[in-house]
Amino acid sequence: MPSTHRRPRTVDTSRHFCPHAGCRYRGWLGWGNLRANGHPSGGPWRQFHCTACDGYFLETHGTIFHGKQAAVELLVRVLACLAEGLGIRATARVFEVAPHTVLQWLVEAAEQLRAFSAYFLCNLHLEQLQLDEVYAVLRDCKAGAISDEEAIKRLERSPAWVWTAMDPTSKLLVVVEVGSRTLAMAQRVVHQVTQVLARDCVPLFLTDGLKDYGTALLTHFGHWTHPARRQATGPRPKPRWMPLPELLYAQVVKSYRRRRIVDVQHHVVFGTRLAIEQVLTACGWTINTAFVERLNLDIRQRVAAIGRRVNTLCQGEAGLRDQLALFQTYHNFVLPHASLRQALLIPEATNGKGSARLWRPCTPAMAAGLTDHVWTLREVLLFRVPPWPQTQRV
Ligand SMILES: [Zn+2]
């Protein structure tokens, strides 16, 4: 610990909150009720004291590290390995821990990371969203061995489809869900999208040709209209549920012949082609679903259960969900995205003889304005997620 030259050490308490039930300050950040209280019995973690309720808690309260004997570095490395796409058994071999320990850590981390994503991904203002589904590989069919079209035929009712919604501008992975390829799932995914969007935000939607998206979007982005009377007498026309006038939605329909794409058609479902093209040309794009398809490739690479044939440990739907929770946070907050990097006005010198740094790395969460820096996985796992959203920049 660096010397403070006899000034009292100030400890940043801004990311902490009192967890004690019955405390009037419970769950709130930055109310000045916390004092650092040193490391109890020389342990690795700092203790905080809440002056409002006179309670004590550790800085790891509510995180995966709370009450764990395992070394922090080991836990972080194991989860980083899983996030990079190594399977559970392989990770267990690398670090010489039991596979079930790795699985247990993944389950616990996933629960925390779901809360982490829910805390940050709310009240979003997005201009566009691309939605897609990607099939997860079951035991008897290898990735790439069959085309999406064949997979659709074979796996229509299987639960192993991963649904994704992403913002092509910031690359933020907004929703990731596992389920069958049905209308009920489309409704669920679109519902989750509405939960993370700001109340008045209606982005441009682009999807593949699955017709259930149209129904789900109409359900969530519609309103009652009262058609005008045509005749002076007779019953009033019934009110009709119509898409919101600002709703824009287009489909990219690909036709395959012998696993090759032979035709791509664009169907405008809600809104006008002109309005949709106006939103897209602002980014220099045309109607496409390329960005979400690229993201699905990343998922295949980094989520072992989807990408290739795997051992039995992570094949259940729950295990797949946990892997995806890890992927979502890793992709949004930890991994800088090459296409988002920002040119530095003045090149920064690097240590040693390396060439000067010309770019500032940028993650999807930074591009979406949710945070101002690239997070480490350790930092993510140490973040105590407050019980409700608060307007504090991190
Ligand atoms: Zn308290």
pLDDT of the residue at 49 = 95
Q: How far is the CA of 23 from the centre of ligand 1 (A)?
A: 5
Percent of the chain with pLDDT over 70: 87
Token look-up 């000034």 returns 7
Dist. CA 215–CA 218, nearest whole Å: 5
Phi-psi map region of 344: left, alpha, beta (phi>0 left; psi -120 to 50 alpha)? beta
CA angle 236, 239, 240 (to 5 degrees): 140
Distance 113 CA to ligand 1 centre (A): 24
| Burial group, residue 174, by CB count within 10 angstroms (0-12, 13-18, 19+) | buried
pLDDT, tens digit, 9 for 90 and up, residues 200-209 = 999 999 998 8
Residue range 151-168: mean pLDDT, rounded: 74
- By the 10 Å C-beta count (0-12 exposed, 13-18 middle, 19+ buried), 2 is classed as exposed
Give the Å distance between the CA of 49 and the centre of ligand 1: 8
Q: What pLDDT score was predicted for residue 150?
A: 65
Residue 212 CA to ligand 1 center (angstroms) comes to 48
Task: Say how many Å lie between the first and final Cα of the chain, rounded.
Answer: 24
Residue 151: exposure state from Cβ atoms within 10 A (0-12, 13-18, ≥19) = buried
- Rounded distance from Cα 19 to ligand 1 centre (Å): 7
Contact 328, 137 (CB under 8 A): no
* CA of 51 relative to ligand 1 center, distance in Å: 7
- Confidence band (pLDDT; 50, 70, 90) for 163? very high
What's the pLDDT tens digit per position in 21-72?
999 999 999 888 999 988 888 888 999 999 999 999 999 999 999 988 878 8
Ligand 1 center to residue 27 CA distance, Å?
9
Tell me how far the alpha carbon of residue 45 lies from the centroid of ligand 1, in angstroms: 19
312 pLDDT above the threshold of 50: no
Residue 183 pLDDT > 70, yes or no?
A: yes
User: If you measure from the C-alpha of residue 55 to the centroid of ligand 1, how many angstroms do you get, rounded to a whole number?
Assistant: 6
User: Where do we find the tokens 């109890």?
Assistant: 40
- Which range, of 114-123, 328-337, 340-349, averages the lowest pLDDT? 340-349
Counting residues of the chain whose pLDDT is more than 90, the rounded percentage is 51
Q: What is the pLDDT of residues 222-265, one digit of tens each?
A: 999 988 887 778 888 889 999 999 999 999 988 877 777 778 88
pLDDT reported for residue 364: 95
Write down the pLDDT at residue 275. Answer: 92
Average pLDDT over all residues of the chain: 85
Determine the distance separating the centroid of ligand 1 and the alpha carbon of 386, expressed in angstroms: 14
* pLDDT exceeds cutoff 50 at 292: yes
Compute the distance from residue 37 Cα to the ligand 1 centre, in Å. 14
| Selected residue with higher pLDDT from 235 and 380 | 380
Residue 52 CA to ligand 1 center (angstroms) comes to 5
Q: How far is the CA of 46 from the centre of ligand 1 (A)?
A: 16
Task: Decide if 136 contacts 316 (C-beta within 8 A).
Answer: no
Q: Tell me the CA–centroid distance for residue 41 and ligand 1, in Å.
A: 22
pLDDT value at 339 more than 90: no
Q: How far is the CA of 61 from the centre of ligand 1 (A)?
A: 13
Report how far ligand 1's centroid is from the alpha carbon of 28 (Å). 10
- pLDDT tens digits, 97-155: 998 899 999 999 999 999 999 999 989 999 999 999 887 765 444 445 556 666 656 55
**What pLDDT is attached to residue 227?**
85
313 pLDDT band (50/70/90 cuts)? very low
Around 332, how many Cα atoms within 13 Å sit in the side-chain half-sphere? Answer: 27
Cβ-based burial of 261 (10 A; exposed 0-12, middle 13-18, buried ≥19): exposed
Instruction: Kindly give the distance from the C-alpha atom of residue 2 to the centroid of ligand 1, in angstroms, as a whole number.
Output: 30
Confidence check: pLDDT of 20 > 90: yes
What separation in Å is there between the alpha carbon of 143 and the centre of ligand 1? 52
Task: Spell out which residues have Cβ within 5 A of ligand 1, the ion.
Answer: 18, 20, 23, 25, 50, 52-53, 55
pLDDT-derived band at 307, boundaries 50, 70, 90: low
**Residue 314's pLDDT band (cuts 50, 70, 90):** very low
Q: How confident is the model at residue 4 (pLDDT cuts 50, 70, 90)?
A: low
Judge contact between 94 and 102, C-beta under 8 A.
no
Q: How far is the centre of ligand 1, averaged over its atoms, from the C-alpha of 187 (Å)?
A: 41
268-288 pLDDT tens trace: 999 999 999 999 988 888 888
Strand ranges (E), the chain: 34-36, 47-50, 55-58, 128-135, 161-166, 173-179, 204-207, 222-225, 240-243, 248-257, 260-270, 342-348, 357-360
Write down the pLDDT at residue 153.
61
Ligand 1 centroid from CA 15, angstroms: 14
Whether the pLDDT of residue 3 is over 80: the answer is no
CA of 31 to the centre of ligand 1 (A): 11
